[in-house]
């Protein structure tokens, strides 16, 4: 589905990624792990079309990605959900994406109601997203992405600063989405929370390169130890 | 517990035709990226053996002299003095100073030139010449005194600490708010397809959100400062004198002397 071939990205004054190569298959759940500043968020921004590689090739469905269309297919939940929510109510927030896609209003309402049911957002529906707690904002941000029905859902550090109850809820929802064929990509430092959720782990090192790519059920004790220390 | 999974979420969404990218988003994202890159660009500052406070006084003297100067000969001397000061700068920095000055002159000139031209060419040329000298002094100062050194200099000169703090926080948080706005716009871009419906409403929402976020952040910042002992009482730093400051003193005395002599 996604293929990175020697992809590099350079910011104005720092290196984001340095010649990374790996692929992500459709319907797979993959965790991108690595120390702070290793390039996890840069990979996600490349995947959803916010950034373009400064070197190397990046393919989506075996074609050069059309960045305008890519954002219909990839949903991105930011690390800080509060900057992602900008509507007056949670209902408006959920409806924003489908309305921009040009769906009929009846379909928009149907999708919003379905997502409210899926994520149990009934009590939040008329509230202002800005005033919600961090966990509630994370759920609303996920919901606002899901109403667009993307094939791939990216979550940047989804468990950061969340209460345990919200972490468990998020894991449950992500597992359900994965079972229904969605491609899930997460970045996280939490080895124990992330491992049951994903099929493979891509690890980056401090030099912004891929350290190792391994299926979670084939991790060696040494790799487990390194992931625990992140 | 299995949650009710909607049927439409099981299917792959057909690609919908996208219209031309929203000008509102692309233009604003591009502008913000430029501004933030400018903030992020590390400005090289010459390490000078002089005190920051003396450099600040020298700047004030130079600017006041340039503004008060009514004599072409004195103006020529002042410009010569400024150009000699610039000779100490490394080549790359000198180019930056000249480039920055030229840009500032063009912008200032465009804004005020019509009014000046109505008073005659001579007034306009004379005004632009004095403006060039002021801007050259400011640009030179920027490359000789770092932001940190300037803040210390202001404390040494007993400028109210609330003013210094406000200035410092404004500069730092302008960048932070710019980054936030950029992320807001990226979030909108990711959830829109082509053109934005109701861009004015969206702009209003983004501005309101930015205001709320900045207000929240300002309150938290003040609370953090208060917890760390900030009391709004002035904190002064002892004046430090460096031997090289005598050169600046001599220069300032010369400038003041010339202005007084010719007045």
User: Could you give the ipTM of this predicted complex?
Assistant: 0.81
Q: Do the chains contact at A96 and B8, CB–CB below 8 Å?
A: no
B117-165 pLDDT, tens per residue?
Answer: 777 778 888 888 888 899 999 988 888 888 888 888 888 888 888 888 8
CA atoms within 13 A on the CB side of A21: 5
B61: in domain: yes
Query: Would you call A150 and B205 a contact, using CB atoms and an 8 Å cutoff?
Result: no
In this structure, what DSSP letter does residue A63 have?
B
Of A143-147, B94-98, B116-120, which range is least confident? B116-120
Q: What is the pLDDT, as a whole number, of residue B69?
A: 82
Nearest CB neighbour to A76, from listed B2, B190, B193: B190
Residues B250 and B190 in one domain: no
**Which residues 40-59 of A are in CB contact (within 8 Å) with B?**
48-50
Q: Which residue of A has its CA nearest to B17?
A: A69
Q: Is the dihedral of CA B96, B97, B98, B104 positive or negative?
A: positive
pLDDT at res. A24: 92
Write out the residue range of the structural domain in which residue A21 sits.
2-228
Q: Which of B35, B187, B203 to mutate to test the interface with A (most CBs of A within 10 A)?
A: B187
**Count of domains forming chain B:** 2
Residue of chain B nearest A96, judged by CA positions: B191
Which DSSP state fits A205? -
To the nearest whole number, what is the mean pLDDT of chain A? 88
Once rounded to an integer, what is the mean pLDDT over residues A33-46?
Answer: 89
Q: Residue B41: inside a domain, yes or no?
A: no
CATH number where A129 lies: 3.40.50.300
The pLDDT-based confidence of B67 (bands split at 50, 70, 90) is: confident
Q: Are residues B209 and B184 in contact, defined by beta-carbon separation less than 8 angstroms?
A: yes
Examine the domain organization and report whether B143 and B251 are in the same domain.
Answer: yes
Q: Residue A71 corresponds to which tokens in the numbers above?
A: 């954002």
For residues B102 and B205, state if they share a domain: no
Among chain A residues, CA nearest to B34: A12
At residue A146, the pLDDT reads: 92
pLDDT computed for residue B57 by the predictor: 92
The Cα-based distances of B210 to A206, B77, B117 in angstroms read 33, 49, 41
CA distance B19 to chain A (A): 9
Does B181 lie in the same domain as B76?
no
The whole-model pTM stands at: 0.74
B38 in any annotated domain: no
Q: Do both B143 and B248 map to the same domain?
A: yes
Percent of chain B at pLDDT above 90? 3
Which residue from A71, A117, A173 is facing B190, i.e. has the nearest CB? Answer: A71
Q: Does A77 touch chain B (CB under 8 A)?
A: no
- In this model, does residue B1 exceed pLDDT 60? no
Give the residue carrying structure tokens 């950034």. Answer: A51
Give contacts of B2 with chain A, Cβ < 8 Å: 176
Task: Give the pLDDT mean for A154-182.
Answer: 89
Is B151 inside any structural domain? yes
- Determine, for residues A83 and B37 on separate chains, whether the beta-carbon distance falls below 8 Å: no
Residue B134 lies in a domain: yes
Q: Are residue B152 and residue B57 in the same domain, yes or no?
A: yes
Considering CB atoms only, which of B9, B18, B187 is closest to A180? Answer: B9
Domain housing B178: 160-235
Classify residue B35: in a domain, yes or no: no
Highest mean pLDDT (candidates A177-191, A207-221, B209-223):
A177-191
State how far residue A149 is from chain B, nearest Cα, in angstroms. 6
pLDDT digit string, tens, across residues B158-204: 888 888 888 888 877 777 788 888 888 888 888 876 666 677 788 88
**Chain A environment of B8 (Cβ under 8 Å):** 110-111, 114, 149
Based on the fold, state whether residues B190 and B90 are members of the same structural domain. Answer: no
pLDDT of residue A184: 94
How many domains does chain A divide into? 1
B91, B72: one domain: yes
Please indicate whether, in this complex, the C-beta atoms of A149 and B209 are within 8 angstroms of each other: no
B80 and B187 in a single domain? The answer is no
Nearest-CA residue of chain A relative to B186? A50
Instruction: Using CB atoms within 10 Å of the CB of residue A184, give its burial: 0 to 12 exposed, 13 to 18 middle, 19+ buried.
Output: buried
Contact B6 A50 (CB under 8 A): no
Residues 141-180 of A with CB under 8 A from B: 144-146, 148-151, 172-173, 176-177, 180
Q: Per the domain annotation, does B12 fall within a domain?
A: no
Q: Are both B58 and B154 inside the same structural domain? A: yes
Task: Report if residue B24 sits inside a domain.
Answer: no
Please give the DSSP secondary-structure letter assigned to residue A58. E
The model's confidence at residue A127, banded by pLDDT at 50, 70 and 90, is very high
């Amino acid at each position: 589905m996604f293929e990175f071939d020697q992809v590099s990205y350079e910011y104005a004054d720092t290196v984001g990624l340095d010649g990374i190569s790996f692929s992500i298959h459709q319907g797979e759940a993959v965790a991108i792990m690595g120390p702070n500043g290793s390039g996890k968020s840069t990979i996600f921004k490349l995947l959803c079309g916010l950034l373009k590689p400064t070197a190397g090739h990046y393919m989506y469905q075996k074609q050069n990605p059309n960045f305008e269309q890519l954002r219909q297919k990839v949903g991105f939940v930011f690390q800080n959900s509060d900057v992602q929510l900008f509507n007056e109510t949670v209902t408006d927030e959920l409806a924003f994406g489908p309305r921009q896609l040009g769906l009929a209003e009846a379909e928009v309402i149907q999708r919003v109601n379905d997502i409210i049911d899926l994520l149990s957002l009934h009590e939040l529906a008329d509230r202002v997203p800005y005033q919600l707690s961090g966990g509630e904002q994370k759920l609303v941000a996920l919901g606002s992405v899901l109403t667009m029905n993307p094939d791939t859902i990216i979550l940047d550090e989804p468990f950061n600063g969340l209460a345990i109850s919200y972490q468990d809820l998020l894991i449950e929802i992500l597992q359900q989405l994965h079972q229904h064929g969605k491609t899930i990509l997460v970045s996280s430092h939490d080895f124990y929370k992330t491992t049951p959720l994903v099929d493979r782990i891509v690890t980056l090192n401090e030099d912004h390169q891929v350290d190792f790519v391994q299926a979670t059920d084939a991790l060696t004790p040494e790799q487990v130890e390194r992931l625990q220390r992140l | 517990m299995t949650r009710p999974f909607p049927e439409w979420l099981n299917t792959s969404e057909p690609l919908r035709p996208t219209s031309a990218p929203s000008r509102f988003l692309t233009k604003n994202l591009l502008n913000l990226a430029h501004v933030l890159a400018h903030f992020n660009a590390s400005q090289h500052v010459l390490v000078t053996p002089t005190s920051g406070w003396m450099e600040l006084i020298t700047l004030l003297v130079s600017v006041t002299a340039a503004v008060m100067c009514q004599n072409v000969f004195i103006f020529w001397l002042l410009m010569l003095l400024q150009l000699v000061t610039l000779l100490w700068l490394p080549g790359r920095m000198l180019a930056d100073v000249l480039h920055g000055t030229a840009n500032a002159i063009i912008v200032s000139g465009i804004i005020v030139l019509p009014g000046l031209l109505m008073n005659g060419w001579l007034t306009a040329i004379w005004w632009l010449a004095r403006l060039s000298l002021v801007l050259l002094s400011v640009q030179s100062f920027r490359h000789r005194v770092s932001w940190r050194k300037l803040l210390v200099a202001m404390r040494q000169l007993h400028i109210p600490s609330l003013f210094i703090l406000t200035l410092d926080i404004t500069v730092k948080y302008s960048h932070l708010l710019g980054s936030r706005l950029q992320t807001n716009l990226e979030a909108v871009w990711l959830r829109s397809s082509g053109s934005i419906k109701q861009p004015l409403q969206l702009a209003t929402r983004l501005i309101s959100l930015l205001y709320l976020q900045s207000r929240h952040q300002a309150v938290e910042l003040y609370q953090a400062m208060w917890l760390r002992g900030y009391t709004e009482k002035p904190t002064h730093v002892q004046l430090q004198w460096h031997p090289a400051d005598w050169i600046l003193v001599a220069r300032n005395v010369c400038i003041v002397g010339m202005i007084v002599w010719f007045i």
